[in-house]
A = this chain, B = another copy of it.
Amino acid sequence: MKDITPQQNKVLDCIKVYIKETGFPPTRSDICKEMGFKSPNSAETHLRALEKKGFISIASGASRGISIIGEDSYKESNNIETDNYPIIGLVAAGSPTLASENIEKQVSCPSNFFGSSFDYFLRVKGLSMKDAGIMEDDLIAVKKTHEVRDGDIVIARIDDEVTVKYFKKPAQDTVILEPANDDFSNIEIDLKSEDLFIEGKYIGLIRES
């Protein structure tokens, strides 16, 4: 019963934008102007629906008494849940550690930008994941984790070589790192004789053109 409808979501966004721009919440009439409604009751019913579903609270009797629930309404409306993330250069050899010598720079980015959380950006070298839309110099958001599943795009390290590939585990002791580019071959790792370290998992991508 907590599903927000697309229209209700628009109203919610319009409230957030209004607060961001004016510093205070809109009236029913303001919402009508923004949304193109002709009756204040259109806004009212949407507000009551949003209240019922727990997205906002409405102070009874008060004008502009809307506040956004979840986080600090102020933070929410301004999306202040922003963090700084390091960009790490994917050097041909070497672990993508967070050591300062590997950090290109820090960028600010809302922490919920890709739905799930992540820890750093990695600058991609090479075109081995080209068919997955991952191009040279792209920044991929990486979540540090060892728990990866078949089909995930992972950041893996073999000896000192760091690579981004599809993860497949056909047998207990075998991992296949599969590129998304016909010009490259699968890397098959026998865990009994070789070391494989999963640095993390691909969460999202940013390209500065």
Contact = CB atoms under 8 A, between A and B. Distances in A.
A73 B105 contact: no
Contact of A74 (B82, B100, B134): B82
Given A16-B84, A84-B79, A68 B23 contact: yes
Interface residues of A, number: 61
Contacts of A36: 100
A133 B133 CA distance: 4
- A interface, over-half SS: mixed
A59 interface: yes
Interface of A: 9-10, 13-14, 16-17, 19-20, 22-25, 27, 34-36, 57, 59, 62-68, 71-74, 78-80, 82, 84, 100, 103, 105-110, 113-115, 130-135, 138, 153, 202-209
9 contacts: A10-B103, A13-B103, A17-B106, A19-B74, A20-B84, A24-B64, A24-B66, A24-B67, A203-B209
